[in-house]
Amino acid sequence: MNKPEQSPPVEAASQRMSRRSLLVGGGVGLLAGAAGARWLWTHNECFQSATTAILKAEAYDARLESILREGLGELGIDRRWCQGKSVLLKPNLVEPRITAPQINTNPQLVRAAVEVFRRWDAREVFVAEGPGHTRDMQWVLEQSGLEAVLREADIEFVDLNHDDIFATKNRLGLTGLGDLYLPKSIQRADRIVSMAKMKTHHWAGATLSMKNLFGMMPGICYGWPKNVLHQVGIPNSILDITATIRPQLAIVDGIVGMEGDGPIMGTAKRANVLVVGTNLPAVDATAARLMDLDPWRIPYLRGASGRLGPIGKNRIKQRGEPIRGLVQHFELIDDPRMKALRG
């Protein structure tokens, strides 16, 4: 599909709201975002470029460590990237159920990433997450299968929903939220890695490395399931959070993803790939194409273009496996807004 000349609106909140009014107010900003929409941006990727790598991976086994290391090498990432540094890995554990492993980033992939960075002499590697639906963190770890991996590999875990917090300026401000409240573990980390699951999403279209950052917003500030962020609009929240946190790496788990009524009610979809990159919009655009979705029609990716990174094919240098031949048709819910993502 040809790139549109101008993006449809990425909405900004028409007025600032207090945290209390957001928590108790009615209405949820979905694809449309907050009220008071106006044209904010035109695509301008001519000065942007990024590199992503598509890696074939057919199982969650011991081979993942070498696959991931080789894939990072395709990006020019090696020991120097993390040597002596603190690395935070943020998996997706939205609402784990032991009977539905397609919901969450697979624990074996998390372990493989830990081992890669440990072997590259990271000062520390720890895992952190703040699930949006479930407050019982111990239950989340058990159901996701991550608890056993953390224990066996002696990996520290931080519950971001209840971490100490700090306030920082919202770098984009599309939501109308002046400051964002973030967990202090972000300040501890020199490198932040978004380890997302390749899934459809019944509101956002697709939940990948950028949407995964909702789990870094403390529930003690933003509610469950991050009510405040839904109130001010999901696409704009994704953009504000990504611009403010600025992760240095994304790893998308598409070995077994989810199609249909994602992010928690869909069915397993095998794609046998990992997607890695240092620019999150480029990674998510690549993952969307692998899902047979048009990234230009996904509101938060459209909004990221020209702001946070490129999503156009001609601006993304593709390493590893070519997209052609690996595309899998991820089913969407039967809703006109979702069907429009096909182009």
Q: Is residue 29 part of a domain?
A: no
Q: Is residue 157 part of a domain?
A: yes
Band the pLDDT of 135: cuts 50, 70, 90: confident
Q: Is residue 4 part of a domain?
A: no
Tens of pLDDT, residues 235-263: 999 999 999 999 999 999 999 999 999 99
Domain count, the chain: 1
Domain carrying residue 173:
49-342
Q: Is residue 324 part of a domain?
A: yes
Cα atoms found within 13 Å of the Cα of residue 46, Cβ hemisphere only: 2
Q: Is residue 284 part of a domain?
A: yes
Task: Give yes or no for a contact between 136 and 210, defined as CB atoms under 8 angstroms apart.
Answer: no
Q: Is residue 30 part of a domain?
A: no
Q: Is residue 25 part of a domain?
A: no
pTM equals 0.88
Q: Quick one: what percent of the chain has pLDDT higher than 70?
A: 87
Domain holding 106: CATH number? 3.40.50
For the cut 90, the answer to whether the pLDDT of residue 81 exceeds it is yes
Which pLDDT does position 99 carry in this prediction? 86
Beta-strand relationship, 316-320 and 267-277: unpaired
Which pLDDT does position 134 carry in this prediction? 80
Task: Give yes or no for a contact between 143 and 96, defined as CB atoms under 8 angstroms apart.
Answer: yes
Query: For residue 269, what are the β-bridge partners?
Result: 257
Tens of pLDDT, residues 207-233: 999 999 999 999 999 999 899 999 999
**Backbone dihedral angles phi then psi of residue 318, each to the nearest 5 degrees:** -95, 120
Find all residues with CB under 8 Å of 166, minimum gap 6, and list them: 181, 182, 184, 187
For the cut 90, the answer to whether the pLDDT of residue 23 exceeds it is no
Q: Is residue 16 part of a domain?
A: no
Instruction: List Cβ<8 Å contacts ≥24 apart for 63-69.
Output: 64/108, 64/109, 64/112, 65/112, 65/115, 65/116, 67/112, 67/274, 68/109, 68/112, 68/113, 68/116, 68/251, 68/274, 68/276, 69/116
Higher pLDDT: 15 or 124? It is 124
Tens of pLDDT, residues 84-117: 999 999 999 987 788 898 999 999 999 999 999 9
Helix (H) or strand (E) holding 87: strand 86-91
